[in-house]
Structure 1
């Protein structure tokens, strides 16, 4: 008896099973991917905690204020090193500076840890589209083209698409303005044995402040914003979730913002720092009293104090820059809402380190003091966890990597040297780290020469040590404690700092040398040298 042949197309072959399995698998992957939250990763350069929510009532930043209302705000968040590239390299790798080997603006972290998986790279490997606009790592900007051999410190393998930077410089000057700046620079910077050809080789940065009457789109950060909005619209149409880094340059020197943001403030009402003097009894090596970044601006005096009138002008400019970026952040938030992405996007905003506006007699960062190491950090979640709340738990920028990975449902790489702060989002007052750690390297100056652009070199120390000095700093709930020791030789101590934040929150008096503090200094020395692992929260 002949078997009846089956109609074509009805047989269930292994190919069909494989196809059905693949469709089911692909569907489950797509569903899992689409359920993962997007990440909008916003950074501001040289941005200290200057917002109303941090107690700075004079600063006008309504959009950052409303983001803070939607966010958990970390009132005591600390960078690992108060200078751009080391701080950003640490945050983006989840490694501390001693592990990245980055202590300056010229070293790429991949020179020491070539195979490390960065924060955006980890998201990329887990199915995210990662893209960056503006300064996220520390790239070589087009306006630095006249600095010989400045390396590009971006990390292309972290991103799904090439980094985008505007082509115009971040400085806004007319030709006449540049000429005036060069005249001032020549008059104040030339030594007796120099000629104009010598100072022409410097980068002429122009004036410390400027208020051009231009559209916000003309300046660098406005162009970053326009590109970020375009990218946001593009990535919103993708099937995979996105990690979008938007890096603003302001309020970094020089303090230049469109005039309308200057007009928000009455300069006569600008308050200058009350503690415009170095901490008493602080070791000289701990201070950055010559503020090379500030003095690189042509109209800042080459030595001596900045007088109150110019202090108000510079603070006015810094605040105007914050207000300018605030408006740009507002455009990002509005577009996120317009695209319907708010319900599935984590928003993180951070400053790469703090900044002093005359406090402790400084106009910079580059120290281990509170004003340099403390910076804003806020995170807004789609489910509203932590919204409008603050925590004074000690957190570190190396904690951002594991926290975002956990919030996105990603595994945690083994190399991380931070701790996820996710538990704080539901319980901001829970016991947490007993200390946060920062460090700063004072490099050796074997051949002293005044260079206003050597921003990690304290100017004026002609008797500076001929070997590098590393300052290791620890912020506990009550104290800031710092040991300055010969780099690589912890037995050679060149300075000790101890500030009691319960009695002296402005860090005006170093009490490390007071005899009655000897036992406390010994205890804190032991705790500092036990390191970050010993300070982790107990489960």
Structure 2
């Protein structure tokens, strides 16, 4: 019997396990923790783009941004890839009941009707699209990045996008009784800015307990003239406003905990449903986020903080906790789900099924590439190489240097083979970066 598939997407959630305790005040994610306690956790999973639209277009199609040519949020996947070419359509063709539910494709609203009808069986769903704050809600300003607004009356909890999404998912799980398997999407807003939550999630964290990692001040960061204008540092951080940074970090952590709470509502509903023993759960995020390092509170860069994401796969038939340290890609999500469904791989797909990893195999030498308007990058083994469009390059050992503060340079033994691999992929996919002779 084919498994159901529950795909849960967070928005702007970095690979949280790397940052759980590095700031002094621990991140609280009890529901992600309980899922990981019986799932396979891919600890080095990477987005193929550090921005929402291109990343989501990539993992929903199985095609890299270099293949689709989508590098910004203005370009829709449906401008470049037919809706019938997306892997959810393959599930629908194979007899799955497909159901949407929140932001999985780019955008918080429903897809255009013609695309929705192609990909899903149920009606379009429209959750509260107000990205700034539900109208008429009593609120308090906690400070920090984008103000730190939070709703003070618990009676308003139901007004939040994530509450509507988790309620919709819970209703679906309780009521679905068809004989066919289902594919259900759950797309959360959290922790995307402006980080609005009920106030109780702010109260989980004491901003005065947040401390900057000592290495930020002791070692500093390499200069990045090419990206400085494209991804500007935050003025408050450049001015050394520690209080503002602490408040901003509280806002982000609070938003993560808010999303985790609603994940818990969905997991509770699944466990209480008839589908608990037959539903594959896949949890991911579209890309990561900088939390004050490099004086940035943003995404968009080609560093680990922007590209490393959570990727968790729970198979109820094998609830054994595992961690996989080999690099993998969000591109692999579609091929993995199709493999579980017993369907053929996507023709021309840039990803691969992770099912062998869940069964104990691996590929520690695999190279994972990502792309942006600034250039391209590859992660292989313990190194990340970035090549920008102006020809400049950076090489880091990301296992020993989490914040990428020490550029190893061109003379490091890892440079030449990594640069050759990155240039090979870029040539194969028609992506142009800076000087390719190794001298740029």
Which TM bucket (shorter chain)? 0.7 to 0.9
Indicate the residue corresponding to 1:242 in structure 2.
Answer: 182
Larger Rg: 1
SS of alignment partner, residue 104 of structure 2: coil
Indicate the residue corresponding to 2:356 in structure 1.
Answer: 423
Against the structure 1 CA distance between its residues 102 and 219, is the aligned structure 2 distance closer, same or farther, given a 3 Å change threshold? Answer: same
Indicate the residue corresponding to 1:360 in structure 2.
Answer: 294
Indicate the residue corresponding to 2:409 in structure 1.
Answer: 512
Indicate the residue corresponding to 2:329 in structure 1.
Answer: 396
CA distance in 2, matches of 1:509, 1:479: 12
Against the structure 1 CA distance between its residues 170 and 228, is the aligned structure 2 distance closer, same or farther, given a 3 Å change threshold? Answer: farther
Compute the displacement of 1:495 (Å): 1.5
Structure 1 residue runs of 5 or longer lacking an equivalent are 1-34, 143-150, 185-205, 443-470, 486-492, 535-539
Alignment check: 8 A CA contact 1:261 1:323 kept: yes
- Pairing 1:474–2:413 present: no
How many equivalent residue pairs? 419
Moved more, 162-171 or 223-232: 162-171
Indicate the residue corresponding to 1:214 in structure 2.
Answer: 153
Against the structure 1 CA distance between its residues 532 and 341, is the aligned structure 2 distance closer, same or farther, given a 3 Å change threshold? Answer: farther
CA distance in 2, matches of 1:271, 1:119: 43
Q: Deviations over 1:52-72 (max 9, x none)?
A: 896667011111100111210
Against the structure 1 CA distance between its residues 354 and 152, is the aligned structure 2 distance closer, same or farther, given a 3 Å change threshold? Answer: farther
Against the structure 1 CA distance between its residues 382 and 159, is the aligned structure 2 distance closer, same or farther, given a 3 Å change threshold? Answer: same
- Pairing 1:92–2:32 present: no
Indicate the residue corresponding to 2:227 in structure 1.
Answer: 285
- Pairing 1:521–2:415 present: yes
Against the structure 1 CA distance between its residues 176 and 127, is the aligned structure 2 distance closer, same or farther, given a 3 Å change threshold? Answer: closer
Alignment check: 8 A CA contact 2:47 2:309 kept: yes
CA distance in 2, matches of 1:167, 1:334: 23
Q: What RMSD over aligned residues (CA atoms) do the two structures have, in Å?
A: 3.0
CA distance in 1, matches of 2:398, 2:19: 20
Q: Deviations over 1:163-187 (max 9, x none)?
A: 3131351332677999x9xxx9xxx
Indicate the residue corresponding to 1:346 in structure 2.
Answer: 280
Indicate the residue corresponding to 2:33 in structure 1.
Answer: 65
Indicate the residue corresponding to 1:42 in structure 2.
Answer: 8
Task: Pick the aligned partner of 1:440 from 364, 369, 372.
Answer: 372
CA distance in 1, matches of 2:114, 2:190: 19
Compute the displacement of 1:281 (Å): 4.0
CA distance in 2, matches of 1:153, 1:502: 45
Against the structure 1 CA distance between its residues 285 and 495, is the aligned structure 2 distance closer, same or farther, given a 3 Å change threshold? Answer: farther
Indicate the residue corresponding to 2:200 in structure 1.
Answer: 260
- Pairing 1:159–2:91 present: no
Alignment check: 8 A CA contact 1:279 1:510 kept: no
CA distance in 1, matches of 2:185, 2:259: 15
TM-score (norm 2): 0.87
Structure 2 residue runs of 5 or longer lacking an equivalent are 429-440
Write out aligned runs for 1:4-153 (5 A): 35-51=1-17, 58-114=26-82, 117-139=85-107, 141=109
Against the structure 1 CA distance between its residues 95 and 330, is the aligned structure 2 distance closer, same or farther, given a 3 Å change threshold? Answer: same
SS of alignment partner, residue 283 of structure 2: strand
SS of alignment partner, residue 422 of structure 2: helix
Q: Deviations over 1:181-235 (max 9, x none)?
A: xxx9xxxxxxxxxxxxxxxxxxxxx94311211333221111111122222233x
Compute the displacement of 1:133 (Å): 1.1
CA distance in 1, matches of 2:276, 2:229: 43
Alignment check: 8 A CA contact 1:394 1:436 kept: yes
The structure with higher relative contact order (CA 8 Å, sep 6+) is 2
Indicate the residue corresponding to 2:395 in structure 1.
Answer: 498
Moved more, 339-348 or 162-171: 162-171
Compute the displacement of 1:410 (Å): 1.8
CA distance in 2, matches of 1:154, 1:269: 50
